[in-house]
Each structure stands twice: as structure tokens, then as C-alpha cells.
Structure 1
């Protein structure tokens, strides 16, 4: 009798992010919004200035300017909940990731270079639809302040692109 597949679930959940989505959120020049809420469910939001995805795609880190993100950072520290939205300005393709284990971390080696690549890609994306570099710079400037990472395991992913599929959960990557 051939071996039967195990019915025991794996200890590590499969990532809802496939390779194409990982590339989309890290290199496509998307607008990044990061939200959380405190214990009283009052929402907070800030702008992300880049993203890192772990090689196995099980962990995502979004970069934020600490001074501009105090409420979100406090909420993440309090509740560990996060929602990150990645939207491409030229066509409104949008992905939302949610996590329940978010932590605030220092940047890792290579993150500053990721942020600079993000700035270039985001500036090019906005330039293609008529916005100049001064506008982009104002949107995602750190002002020389501290930048931190909010790392989380995506537990849910949703297509938020306007249209008939908006709000639908994405299937797990295969």
C-alpha cells in the first residue's frame, strides 16, 4: 500500500504570498499604507517607505519613519495587529496583508538600500502618472529621523483592487 499523505497540519503555515506577489510589494513602486489599532479598536495609520520579504515568504517587514508613526508603533506594541496595503498608483492593483504577531524591530543589513530602491521605484511610478520628484520626496521623506521595521507573519491576504474581486481572500501560494 503506498504511503498516505499525513493529515497532520504542518507546524508552520504556508505563506499566502507567492513569488510574484513578493516582487510586487518589494519592487513595483507601490504605495504602502500601514495600519493597526489599539485595545479600544481605534485605528491608526502611517505611510510605509519600503518592504522586505523573507526568502521563504513567511515573514514581511514594512519600514516606517518612527517619528511619523508613533500611534501605529504604539498600537503594534500593544496588540501585535497590523494591516499593510500595497497599491500600484498607475493601475490601482492593490493587495492587503494582515498579521497578528507584529513586532517593531531595528533595520537589518541591506534595509537602507531596500528603502533607497523603493524610493526610486515609487518616484518612477508616480512620475509616470504626472507627479514630480518633489511630491514623491515629500510623501516618503524620513527627514533624517529613525526608521524602524514592523515585521509580521501574514495570516491573511486580500485582493483589494477595485472591481468585482475586491475583498476576496487570496489562495495560499503553492
Structure 2
């Protein structure tokens, strides 16, 4: 059976996944607190490092304080990355997620990533002011969440949604 949309996981994230992630896409993060209560937030930017061995996302730490605390306490994190125009989506999970202050290089990603996301959404009919309002954040409140991917799932709507992308 062919891999959905050419995705295949070997170690970390493979080349097809890295190509998919190398754009300004919709990024949502999820975890659960120690009691198992789910927490979900919208990320401001995402990028891969070390050839796909690490995924980093930036979120507004003040708006997502409970989520940041839960990731710090549990190390659990799932990241869903979607292309708004096609709904092509991946979920990336990892254990051992860590919370950190963003490096200057990471913090500098937020503006260009948001500009790219705005361009994608205005291209399918959303207004720039709407997208910027939904994605508003204070750069001083950015927090970096880092994880080593351990599982990748196809979350594109359709018959393969939820399937693990095998190694």
C-alpha cells in the first residue's frame, strides 16, 4: 500500500514530511494535564531542526499558560499542522517535550511565519485583519515547545485520517 500523500517516517521526520512542514501552515498544539484533562492551543510558528529530529513550535505563553504548565509537567505534546487550502494535515506526537524561552532566531520566525500564513488565508478569501486578529500575540509572551517526534499520523480528512504513517 502506498504511503498517504508520499509521507513516510523513518527516523525523526522524513524528507516528504519536512517539505510539507517547510511552509507557513496552521499549527495547533495539544496536551493533557497530569489529571488527564485536555488542553489545546494555536501556535504562532513551527519549524524543524536537526534534519527532522526535533520539532519546535512557538506559542503565546500567557494565552496558553495552562497548556505550557502541563507540557512542562508531563512532557506530552501533539502538534497538528494543516494546509488551510487543502486541509492536508499531519499530527506529530512526541514524549519528552520541553518548554523553553525562544532563542532570538526562534522568536524572529514568528513575524515571517505569520505573514506567510496571512498570505495563504487571504488567498482563499479571509481578510488580513481577521487572520491577524485571530493570530494576535505579544512577542514578549512567546514560549518555545520542543519535541522529538515519535509518531506521525495522517490527519487529512478522508478514509486514511488517523492512520499512523509507518516507518
Q: Is the shorter-chain TM-score for this pair beyond 0.5, marking a shared fold? A: yes
Matched-pair contact (CA < 8 Å) for 1:127–1:133: yes
Q: Is the 8 A contact 2:54 2:146 kept in 1?
A: yes
1 CA distance for matches of 2:103 and 2:15? 21
1:102-161 deviation per Cα after TM superposition (whole angstroms, max 9, x unaligned) = 110111232233212211111011111111111111121113441010001111100000
List runs of 5+ in structure 2 lacking aligned partners.
1-9
Q: Does 1:20 align with 2:11?
A: no
| 2:110 aligns with one of 87, 111, 115 | 115
Larger radius of gyration between Structure 1 and Structure 2? 1
Q: Which structure 2 residues correspond to residues 70-109 of structure 1 after superposition, within 5 A? A: 70-109=65-104
Contact 2:31 2:70 in 1 (8 A): yes
Q: How many residues align?
A: 158
| Structure 2 match to 1:52 | 47
Stretch moving more, 124-133 or 111-120: 111-120
Counterpart selection for 1:164 from 142, 152, 159:
159
Structure 1 outlier segments of 4+, above 6 Å? none
Instruction: Give TM-score, length-normalised by structure 2.
Output: 0.89
